[in-house]
């Protein structure tokens, strides 16, 4: 039903407008009694509970960063059946992001190209919202994804990350360091091991007891992915998120003129499935069994999530297929996972 509605009606709307409209509905679903009603039909089964990062996740399946940039829809997303919500990417300094249009659908590929540019209200605003959420004792695990402020030079990135971590780590169930978005100039250069190591040490000190993970890009050579995974273990991090969007455009079936018109940005969705599995297997071979690995990219169905879990993922995240599969996507996945 929803795919037909999407193709006939929703796909006609500007993608960013449609996202904001959907988020307004999700926020309503997080308010009682709507949250009770929604949760009654979407709640994961007890056997799906996962222990990771010293936390109890109701389901291994959660929302990737980018969907709820400002921590405004956590309760609604939890009501829809997601086991955790990773908010952000949040920067120390508020920023508008890149000029519009900056979000593009590739419907034949069930994919999206975005160059949002970390548009968010900043760490102070996020801290206020998260503090309010904490007072209400949400059931959903909340991860906080932090990135570099665009106006901050790359050589000053560490202090910028530390500023965000200091404000947000005490309010997060886990903290994720994003050094892999393709939409902030110079950011991916921070993934070089010699640059990444001191940054992670500084953020880890600021994060205190809050579990810390790093999010990497799929476009890195395999040996660099392994090197970062080993670095994360050596530095005492709690996990890796593999992975962010890609700048690759190979293998797409959408009209080349549509792809060209969309321009630069990160590609997400179904086309990432194969590379995402490759990155997951690379990371898992380089880290201990108990090390948390969150797999992201190309996830659409319960069998996709199960495949990631069977390949060694501790948790799995999705985002793009939410646009194509509708509001009960998490419920479909939770119901489809094996016992």
Summarize the confidence of residues 44-62 as an average pLDDT: 92
What pLDDT sits at residue 7?
53
Summarize the confidence of residues 28-38 as an average pLDDT: 84
Summarize the confidence of residues 274-287 as an average pLDDT: 96
Q: CATH homologous superfamily for 2-336?
A: Aldolase class I (3.20.20.70)
Question: Is the pLDDT confidence value at 4 over 70?
Answer: no
Q: Up-side HSE of residue 258: CA atoms within 13 Å toward CB?
A: 14
* Helix 329-336 with 34-42: angle, nearest 10 deg: 30
What's the rounded Cα separation, in Å, for the pair 289 and 216? 19
Q: Confidence class of residue 1 from pLDDT cuts 50, 70 and 90?
A: low
Instruction: State percent of the chain over pLDDT 90.
Output: 71
Summarize the confidence of residues 291-312 as an average pLDDT: 96
What pLDDT sits at residue 255?
92
Cite the DSSP H helix spans in 169-262: 193-207, 222-234, 256-262
More confident residue, 25 or 57: 57
Q: Confidence class of residue 2 from pLDDT cuts 50, 70 and 90?
A: low
**DSSP calls for 246-285:** B---TT--S-HHHHHHH-SSEEEEGGGHHHHHHHHHHHHH
Summarize the confidence of residues 62-90 as an average pLDDT: 95
DSSP β-bridge partners for residue 120: 95
Strand order in the sheet with 111-114: 103-106, 111-114, 266-269
More confident residue, 71 or 22: 71
Summarize the confidence of residues 58-79 as an average pLDDT: 95
Please measure the distance between the N-terminal and C-terminal CA atoms of the chain and give it in whole angstroms: 27
Summarize the confidence of residues 41-59 as an average pLDDT: 90
120-155 tens-digit pLDDT: 999 999 999 999 998 887 779 999 999 999 999 888
Q: How high is the mean pLDDT of the chain?
A: 91
Summarize the confidence of residues 208-218 as an average pLDDT: 96
179-196 tens-digit pLDDT: 887 778 777 877 788 889
Q: Confidence class of residue 21 from pLDDT cuts 50, 70 and 90?
A: confident
Mean pLDDT is lowest, of 5-14, 15-24, 26-35, 132-141, for: 5-14
Summarize the confidence of residues 78-95 as an average pLDDT: 95
Buried b vs exposed e over 270-301: b needs ≥16 C-beta within 10 Å? bbbbebbbebbebbbebbeeebbbbbbbbbbe
What's the rounded Cα separation, in Å, for the pair 116 and 130? 22
254-266 tens-digit pLDDT: 999 999 989 989 9
Catalytic residues: 181
Mean pLDDT is lowest, of 37-46, 138-147, 282-291, for: 37-46
Query: What is the sign of the dihedral through the CA atoms of 178, 181, 183 and 185?
Result: positive
What pLDDT sits at residue 9?
57
């Amino acid at each position: 039903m929803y795919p037909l509605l999407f193709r006939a009606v929703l796909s006609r709307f500007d993608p960013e407008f449609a996202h904001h409209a959907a988020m307004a509905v999700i926020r309503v679903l997080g308010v009682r009694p709507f949250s009770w009603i929604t949760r009654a039909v979407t709640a994961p089964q007890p056997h799906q509970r996962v222990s990771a990062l010293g936390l109890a996740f109701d389901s291994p399946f959660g929302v990737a960063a980018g969907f709820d940039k400002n921590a405004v829809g956590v309760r609604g997303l939890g009501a829809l059946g997601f086991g955790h919500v990773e908010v952000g990417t949040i920067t120390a300094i508020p920023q508008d992001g890149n000029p519009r249009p900056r979000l593009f659908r590739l419907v034949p590929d069930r994919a999206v190209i975005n160059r949002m540019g970390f548009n968010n209200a900043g760490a102070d605003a996020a801290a206020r919202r998260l503090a309010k959420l904490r007072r209400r004792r949400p059931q959903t695990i909340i991860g906080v994804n932090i990135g570099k402020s665009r106006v901050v030079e790359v050589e000053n990135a560490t202090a910028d990350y530390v500023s965000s971590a200091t404000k947000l780590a005490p309010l997060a169930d886990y903290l994720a360091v994003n050094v892999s978005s393709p939409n902030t100039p110079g950011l991916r250069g921070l993934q070089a091991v010699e640059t990444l190591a001191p940054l992670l040490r500084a953020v880890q000190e600021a994060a205190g007891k809050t579990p810390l993970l790093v999010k990497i890009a799929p476009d890195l050579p395999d040996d660099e992915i392994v090197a970062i995974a080993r670095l994360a273990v050596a530095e005492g991090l709690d996990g890796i998120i593999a992975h962010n969007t890609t700048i690759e455009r190979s293998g797409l079936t959408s009209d080349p003129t549509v792809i060209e018109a969309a321009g630069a940005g990160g590609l997400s969705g179904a086309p990432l499935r194969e590379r995402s599995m490759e990155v997951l297997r690379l990371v898992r071979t380089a880290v201990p069994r108990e090390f948390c690995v969150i797999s992201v990219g190309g996830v659409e169905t319960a069998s996709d999530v199960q495949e990631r879990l069977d390949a060694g993922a501790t948790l799995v995240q999705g985002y793009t297929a939410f646009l194509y599969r509708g509001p009960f996507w998490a419920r479909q996945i939770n119901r489809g996972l094996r016992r």
